[in-house]
Amino acid sequence: MDSRVPLLIALALFCGCSTYKEIPRAELVADASLGKVRVATIDGFEYRFAKAEVYPDTLVGFYEVTEERTGSGGEVWFEDVLRRQEIPLPRVARVELVNKDPVRTALYGATIAAAGYFLVTLVDENRVKGGSVPGGGKGGIVNP
């Protein structure tokens, strides 16, 4: 197996794309629970929430933060904490649901993997064709 394959697989797996689908204002009814959303307010602020809930007069978004904790003995650890942000519904200008886009992800992943393969191959060819080697010189080429 070519040594470049794991690198290319990693490049392809780490790319991911999302699209945003706007939720019409009429569909923001009380007791609605939404997944991952992006919320824009009329005063220009933008929020990204892991999940959101709609109440009669408020949209409540939940997001995660990492907090540093210190114990009584001086030990330090980090803890993920869920926070909430309340936004009055009259201030909400737009709510967009975040969707994974598998087609775009596959296209970007293939492009990144191809570019990575090309660059690694180019570097390997340069090394084989007598590029620089440790210690200088031309890598064993002798002129008669």
Is 92 in the same domain as 117?
no
Is 87 in the same domain as 111?
no
* Residues 50-97 pLDDT 10s: 999 999 999 999 999 999 999 999 999 999 999 999 999 999 999 999
Structural domain boundaries enclosing 48: 20-99
Is 109 in the same domain as 91?
no
Phi then psi for residue 35, to 5 deg, are -80, -140
Whats the size of the chain, residue-wise? 144
Q: Say what the pTM is.
A: 0.59
Whether residue 73 is contained in a domain is answered as yes
Q: What is the pLDDT of residue 63?
A: 96
* Residues 99-109 pLDDT 10s: 876 666 666 66
Is 60 in the same domain as 7?
no
Is 70 in the same domain as 115?
no
**CA 143, CA 44: separation in Å to the nearest integer?**
70
**CA 87, CA 75: separation in Å to the nearest integer?**
37
**CA 2, CA 4: separation in Å to the nearest integer?**
5
